Structure 1
Amino acid sequence: MNAPKRHPRIIVGVDGSDSSISALRVARVMAEPLSATVEAWACWDVPAGYGVYLAVGIEGFKYAAEQVLQQALADAFGELPSFVHPRLVRGKPGPVLIDASRNASLLIVGRRGHGSFVPGSVSSACVSRAHCPVLVVHAPEADDEAPDQGAQVGAAVAP
């Protein structure tokens, strides 16, 4: 009996940084010829030391992440392609994306993002621990004429 053909799935870590917007654009270019779906994942969590927010409510953190995700999608694509699906996930980006890589064909992340104490720590963690190939995308240079053409691939790693 033949196993069902698995539809390619590309997961992109999105935090609103220029490199994550470039990662979305690279995912689109890669997904179209493969007939792959792209999942744009924005991770959010309550920052350490903010225990009082657990009692008051955490909706503000989730709302902020949702706004960042929607803006990044608008900046990357304008109109959202039908094969791109936004996903808002609670948790720290590194562990969440590494876990998600178990069921992905490819994980794409930006080289440097927002909100990380150590620049590149999420991409470094994903490269070293993901369960699928990882593509790290650099943001385009400021003087590039076409930002969607200026993305540079920083690393491609197959586990």
Structure 2
Amino acid sequence: MDAAESGQPIIVGVDGSESSVDALRHAARLASALAVPLEAVVVWSYPPLATAGAMQTWSPEQEAHATLDATITSAFGADPPAALGRRVIAGPTAPTLIRESAGAGMLVLGSRGHGGFVGLLLGSVSTACAQYASCPVLIVHSPQQAA
């Protein structure tokens, strides 16, 4: 059974990177063509060395909400798809997306996020999700990477 037959959503992991903006645009086209729900998901966690003082003035959860909104605006401007779902989830990124994939028809990710080593073709999150997700995974390379 594929995503269209099951009605399961296409989940897109976004982090504000250009690669995740491209992934969100691509997933929106797929969701529209397949007539399935689309969900943009940002995963956040506390930094390992966060101090109590820093946490009083900065909220990674609020930053995640801002990142989600900014990514959607970058992808669609003032006209996002009407049925676009938005979720902000606490947890480690790759394991959280892998867990979320159990209820998805497809998981869509950009090939590279903000972290890691710039020369790699795939980031650690997209690599882990491609290996362990419970649904098909589509990894979208941005046009700059393809060139």
* More helix as a share of residues: 2
Residue type of the alignment partner of 1:111: S
Task: Report the identity percentage.
Answer: 38
What is the aligned length? 137
Deviations along 1:29-64, whole A, 9 cap, x unmatched? 10112111111000111011225369x558611111
Gaps in structure 1 of 5+ consecutive residues: 143-151, 153-159
In the other structure, the counterpart of 1:76 is 75
In the other structure, the counterpart of 1:47 is 47
Distance 1:94 1:58, change over 3 A: farther
* More strand as a share of residues: 1
User: Whose Rg is larger?
Assistant: 1
**Runs of 4+ more than 2 Å apart:** 51-54, 56-59, 116-119
The 5 A counterparts of 1:72-151 are 72-78=71-77, 79-114=79-114, 116-117=115-116, 120-141=123-144
CA distance in 2, matches of 1:64, 1:88: 10
CA distance in 2, matches of 1:34, 1:92: 30
Deviations along 1:125-151, whole A, 9 cap, x unmatched? 000000000000111228xxxxxxxxx
Deviations along 1:88-147, whole A, 9 cap, x unmatched? 111111011000000100000010002x345600000000000000000111228xxxxx
CA distance in 2, matches of 1:23, 1:141: 13
Q: With the length of structure 2 as denominator, give the TM-score of the two structures.
A: 0.84
Residue type of the alignment partner of 2:135: C
Greater relative CO, 1 or 2 (CA 8 Å, sep 6+): 2
Q: Secondary structure at the match of 2:6?
A: coil
Gaps in structure 2 of 5+ consecutive residues: none
CA contact (8 A) 2:8 2:103 kept: no
- Select between 116-125 and 129-138 the one with higher mean Cα deviation: 116-125
